[in-house]
Structure formats: structure tokens, C-alpha cells
Structure 1
Amino acid sequence: MRAPRMITVTLAGAAVLLPVAACSSDKPAPGAAPQATATTPVAEETPQGKTHPFTGLPNENVKPVLAVKIENTAAGKPQLGLKSADIVYIEQVEAGLTRLMAIFSSKIPAKVGPVRSARISDLHIVPQFGKPAFAYSGVQSKMLPFMAKASLYDVGDTRNPGAFFRQPGRVAPYNLFANGKQLLSKAPEASKAKDIGFTFGDPPAQGGVDKKSWTVRWPAARFTFDWSPAKKQWLISQDGKKDMAAEGGQQSAPTVVIQYVQTVRSQFHDFHQSYTPLVKSIGKGKAIVLRDGKAYKANWERADEEHGTTFTTEDGEPMNFAPGQVWVALASRKPVTP
């Protein structure tokens, strides 16, 4: 019998830095398409079949990747479609606020949103997936040349208007939603899901500290992850309020990764003169991995834009995630507003 091998994934970024505007000045983009000691890792092939590289869950049919930029302020809540995501990234944007990028492959939501504009860090995230479909609601004009060169299929509201609609009962610009399948239909050659550096399996035998709750702060946003033994999930709250899903129930995930990165100002800013943050994901750093009611210290490393991020324990072994949805919070030890 062939021995199981670890599923690994790289988090690669784009080779270009992209400027973006604040939400209030967004313009539609007409741009061109452009293991740990004494643990047992999950095998790539199990008696039940193959597992998905993004979640570690059984999955026989690998599908294309869809990335969607989603609003993350109170005005845009509750969000729709996040429960279907394989991975959710939290990124800092102007004025110390945050915005989400949801990655879909194993499940494609019928509706997702509110869809908002792209940001500089987005194009440092999506290339790790090859050339995925990327849905967003606009960028500033200075970003258009970079969008055209980026490793993605542009399925934004300008190039694919038929996939978008205005959700009744919400106010603009927080009412723009999209049909997931229609988004992908405009990118028939979008890359299918592949290894991006994540490893799934049993937790490390040592090193974890019992935690009931963990809070992560940005200059103008705060996320709290509370462990639920009953659901075996980290329940997500933002700014002191439960983060509820439009489909019902509270947003939650079995694994939350707090990846500590350096956040600096880019050369671009919005019309309020707030600089667009640039999240630096190249190099080495520290991370906290929350799973099974414990917090594990971890290290992350990324050599360059063409390679992804590896997460390891303090002993240098792969840091296994719990199978299921993964949230990655790109945070700073000392949050600053660029």
C-alpha cells in the first residue's frame, strides 16, 4: 500500500503592487482579463477518496477557484455566502478597517456579497491559486494596468454584469451581490484547486495552550474567536457583536490562523487622503493557530512572490489544521494606520 503523503500548499503573491481607492470612490473596472511530532497527518488519498487541498475534507471532484472581495463593516452585514467558503482572508484597508476575500472551490454559493472593490493585498493573495476567477466591484483607475497583468480572470461587475444584482432591502453600495455559478461561467479556464501549503490532520502532541477566546485587533476593527466545544468551531464576533450569516447562524470555523505581518502604506491613497495599506507577506514571521480549543505558536515563511507560505510548529514540523473552513487573519503585533 502506498504510504500517505502530506497535502502542502504555497501562498504565493503577485509580482506587482496594486493601488486601490477607498470604498466611497470605487469605480467599476473596465480592465482586461488579465506534520507534527507524534501526530498522524491526513493522507491525500483515504478510504473515502481524495481530500480537498483547501479544507482537508473528502472531495472527489476538484473544481475551479473563485475569489470574491466582500464588505466587512456593519453597513454590509450580514454577509451572504461566506459559510460556503473554503478560506476567508481578513485584510486591512484604508482608515484601519478590514475587508474580506473569500475563496470558493469545493462549494460555490448561489448568492454571495456584498461584493466590494479590490485592494492592493488582493493581488498578493490570488496568484497562489494559479489563475482563479476574481470577482469585485471596482478599482481606481490607476490600478487598471496592474489588474490587466494580474494572474486572474476578471469577472468583476463591469466585465460580467449579468452575474450581479442589487439585493432588495439594502442600500448602495452595500447591496451589490453576485451569483457564484454565473461568475465562474465567465471564466471557463479558471485554475482548479491545488495545494497551497495547508496541511491537515491531528494537532501537535505538545505546545498547545487551552484557550476559550482570542481577540485580534486592527486600528479600526476587532475580531474575537470564541471556542464552542459543542460545535467544535471558533465562533466569530466583530467589534463586540456576533458575526451572523445571512443564511442563519453565526460565522464560525474549525481553524483560525493569525498571521502576523508587516503592514505599511503604499504610494496610493483614497480621495479622503487615507493611504491604502500594503500587507507584506514575503519573508518570515510568527503566527498563532487556533484549533480544538487550543492556541499553538507557529512560524510562517515565504521565500518570494512565486512561492507560498508554509506554517510550521516551533519544532519545525508542519502545523496541521483541523479539517474544514480556514480563516486567515493578516494582522500586525502593533496595529498601525498607514
Structure 2
Amino acid sequence: MRYRAPTRRTALTAALAAALMTVSLTAGCTRHGTSDDGRAPHGTPSPSGQSTAGTGSVLAVKIDNVGAARPQTGLDAADVVYAEQVEGGLSRLMAVYATKLPEAVGPVRSARESDLELLRQFDRPTLAFSGAQSRLLPLIDKAPLRPKTPDEAPGAFYRGSGRPAPHNLYLRPARLVDGAPGKAALTTGFRYGPAPAGGTVTASRTVRYPAARFIFTWSANRHGWLVSMDGTPARTTDGDRPAPATVVVQHVRVTTSKYHDVLGNHTPFTQTVGSGKAEVLRDGRSFEATWARRAATDGTTFTGAGGSPVNFADGQVWVVFAQA
């Protein structure tokens, strides 16, 4: 069965136990959506990588975002980073790669129902994640994407040292996809170009979840928005601070789904099809906008008060989904 931890057996022979050592990393998903329970050993990637068929679309990776998961790896190489609310009012990230692939990405965590709707805008994207709640697995199977977990691509995932599970699962993108598909694969609906007229001079913008907080502070030297999370400046494992050129605060409906974690906390569902208010931050200014996405297969457009598109600045984009 897909994405499920291997069944424990009480009568393994010594030879079978030795053979199963190479797939021990795949014990990454429980039946209740709390993945990476620590049964897999720490170590380096398997020498046998696996590639997906077809690389014409983006690679999306679910990334852990609690304090124990920071600093993250490979986040600064993403073209788009989405931030969503998950159980307990915490946050999780989904990084989308199209123009370049980092050497490693992580820590990798589990998927949510909201991800399936969000990813419909791309043409059969590859979704790398650690696992999912058992009742969500059939929906993932039916979704028009290429789901990849340690079960299906053990050679592409590895356990990093220095952190306890579940915050130590990483991905080698080059072992999962044949290469970056290019900018044309970013069918997000975003438009890039000169800044709109007007806007409000903005030094920083804070977005709060019940148990998480994002702060974006304008840096003229970096010509981007320095990211802080939960009051701490965000850094990658290379020591760099992410500084997206454009930050979007997209106000959406967040409802309670039928799925929950092992503690019984229900998973929020972030509705990204529809329309609503948004703020686009670029060049040290904030621009009021309206977002619209008519169907799941469409990208999202952002327009100003006069109906003109609100252009994004060239570079990385962060989209933070905030409760409308």
C-alpha cells in the first residue's frame, strides 16, 4: 500500500532483516498523519536514486516550520514559497522549484488536503512529502500529481544527523527529478514587471496564526523582505537570510476539514479557489489588491483598485495565506 510504514514481522530471518535495512528509511508515515516517527536510522542517502518520468512541471516540497526544524535547507532556492496554517495553529511551508534545484531540501514533512487544491494550477507536479493521514491517501492517489515519499523513492530521501525525528528527513531533488523544468512551468498566474503606481511605504508586515508568526522587514540592501518566524530571524543552513523580492498576504477562507492529527487536532483547510483581498509587498511598499482564482486549474491573479494587474518584482515570491 502506498505511503504506509512497513508492517512489523516477528519471524524475520537474518537474511531478510539484512535486505530490509536498505528500505528502513521508508517507515515515514503513520495511519494518523504524524509522519517520520523516528524508527528509521540516521545516515546518508542510499546510492541508488530514483527519477520520475517526465520533468515538464514543478517540484513541490512540504517543509517543516516549527522551531525544532529550523534552520531549513534549500528554502532560498525556491521560486515560490507558500505558508499555510496547520493543526494547533502552527505553520507549514510548501516550496516550489522550477528554475533551479538545490542540492538538498528539508526537513520534509507530511501533506495536507489544502495542498491538492493549490497544486492543481500546475501540470502534474511532483509532490515530495513524508506521508499523510490514512484517509487522505486515496485523494492523493487520485490527484493529478506525482506523489513521492520515502516509501516510493528511498534513494532520494535521507536522515540528517544532529536532529531528532521527525525534523531530520531531507530530500535530494536531483535524485527525484531529472532537472528543473524552467520558468514556463510556473503557471501560478503571477505577473512580473514594473511596480504599480501608488502604494504605501512599509517597513515591515506581520502575519499571525494562532501559534505562529511571520514578520517581513524591508531591506534596501537586499532589495527584498527579510523573513522572521515566531520572532526569530529566519536563516538557511548556509547562514543566509531568505529575502523574497515579493511577499503576498492573501486573505482566504480557512475552515475545519474532516482530517486530524494523532492528538485529535483537526486540520485547517485553506481555500485557494475563489477571490478576496490581498496585499502585495514589493520595493518597500504595500499595494492593496484583489486576488481571484476561478478554478483549481487556474493560476491566481492580483489586480489593483482600477482593475490593472499588480506586478510582482523579479525574484522569489512568498505567499502567506491569512484568515479572511
TM range (shorter): 0.7 to 0.9
Q: 1:169 to 1:196 in 2, by over 3 A?
A: same
Percent sequence identity is: 46
Give, in angstroms, the shift of residue 22 of structure 1: 5.0
Q: How does 1:156-305 map to 2 (within 5 A)?
A: 156-185=149-178, 193-206=185-198, 208-305=199-296
Give, in angstroms, the shift of residue 196 of structure 1: 2.2
Give, in angstroms, the shift of residue 271 of structure 1: 2.2
- What TM-score results when the alignment is normalised by the length of structure 2? 0.81
Greater relative contact order structure (CA < 8 Å, 6+ sep)? 1
Q: 1:330 to 1:188 in 2, by over 3 A?
A: closer
8 Å CA contact 1:132, 1:190 repeated in 2: no
Give, in angstroms, the shift of residue 190 of structure 1: 12
- 1:139 and 2:132 aligned: yes
Give, in angstroms, the shift of residue 306 of structure 1: 2.8
- Answer with 1 or 2: which has the greater Rg: 2
Residue from 93, 106, 112 that aligns with 1:113: 106
Q: Counterpart of 2:150 in structure 1: which amino acid?
A: D
Report the 3-state secondary structure (helix = DSSP H, G, I; strand = E; otherwise coil) of the residue aligned with 1:327. Answer: strand
Q: 1:144 to 1:234 in 2, by over 3 A?
A: same
Whole-Å separation in 2 of the counterparts to 1:199 and 1:226 = 23
8 Å CA contact 2:118, 2:296 repeated in 1: no
Report the 3-state secondary structure (helix = DSSP H, G, I; strand = E; otherwise coil) of the residue aligned with 1:286. Answer: strand
- 1:23 and 2:3 aligned: no
RMSD: 2.5
Give, in angstroms, the shift of residue 307 of structure 1: 2.2
Give, in angstroms, the shift of residue 25 of structure 1: 8.1
**Residue-by-residue CA offset, 1:153-180 (whole Å, 9 max, x unaligned):** 1221111011011111111111100101
8 Å CA contact 1:299, 1:312 repeated in 2: yes
Give, in angstroms, the shift of residue 305 of structure 1: 2.1
8 Å CA contact 1:200, 1:323 repeated in 2: yes
Q: 1:291 to 1:330 in 2, by over 3 A?
A: same
Whole-Å separation in 1 of the counterparts to 2:33 and 2:130 = 12
| Structure 2: runs of 5 or more not aligned | 1-30, 40-51
Give, in angstroms, the shift of residue 77 of structure 1: 0.4
**Residue-by-residue CA offset, 1:260-306 (whole Å, 9 max, x unaligned):** 00101011212211101101122210000000000000000121223
Q: 1:183 to 1:24 in 2, by over 3 A?
A: closer
8 Å CA contact 1:105, 1:193 repeated in 2: yes
